[in-house]
Amino acid sequence: MEEKKGEVVLFRTWASPICTRVEIALKLKGISYEYVEEDLTNKSELFLSLNPVHKKVPVLVHNGKSIAESLVILEYIEECWNTTPKLLPEDPYQRAKLRFWANYYDQKIVPSFYIIIVSKDKEREKAIED
């Protein structure tokens, strides 16, 4: 069940597995949000004002306040919507295992994903295999 905590907007781009991570968290917690597709080849002034340091998606805007960096956003979501299903398990060992796979996703899956969508031939085949 959704907890009413105000307006949530997610600036993302469809081809980003990093953004998908935030979207999964929002869906898991049943949080309603507006999706704004940002064109990374022509970033809007609004978007640049929301993440002036890194200028990257994802950016979460909650009640007019912006939060950048996907892992920071996940922690914010967990802290703000703390009565909905937990993103992290209680048990420290289970947490460690989850962090291991989250790190694996960042180190292995995300780079391969970008190679798959932009490369051809052998490089692409290798990324698929990886």
Ligand X SMILES: N[C@@H](CCC(=O)N[C@@H](CS)C(=O)NCC(=O)O)C(=O)O
Q: How far is the CB of 118 from ligand X (least distance, A)?
A: 12
Q: What are the distances in angstroms from CA 64 to CA 7, 59, 84? A: 8, 12, 22
Pick from 38, 40, 16: nearest CA to 117? 16
Under rule CB under 6 A, residue 56 binds ligand X: yes
Among the listed residues 16, 61, 67, 74, the single contact to ligand X using CB under 6 A = 16
Q: Which is nearer to ligand X, 84 or 106 (CB)?
A: 106
Q: What angle do CA 34, 42, 33 make, to 5 degrees?
A: 5
Taking residues 34 to 53 in sequence order and writing x for each that binds ligand X by CB under 6 A, - otherwise, the string is ------x-------------
Asked if 29 touches ligand X (CB under 6 A), the answer is: no
Which of 69, 75, 102, 127 is in the footprint of ligand X by CB under 6 A?
69
Q: Residue 30: which region, alpha, beta or left (left: phi > 0; alpha: psi -120 to 50)?
A: left
Q: Are 32 and 2 in contact (CB under 8 A)?
A: yes
- Kindly list the residues in this chain that would bind ligand X in the complex (CB under 6 A): 16, 18, 40, 55-58, 69-71
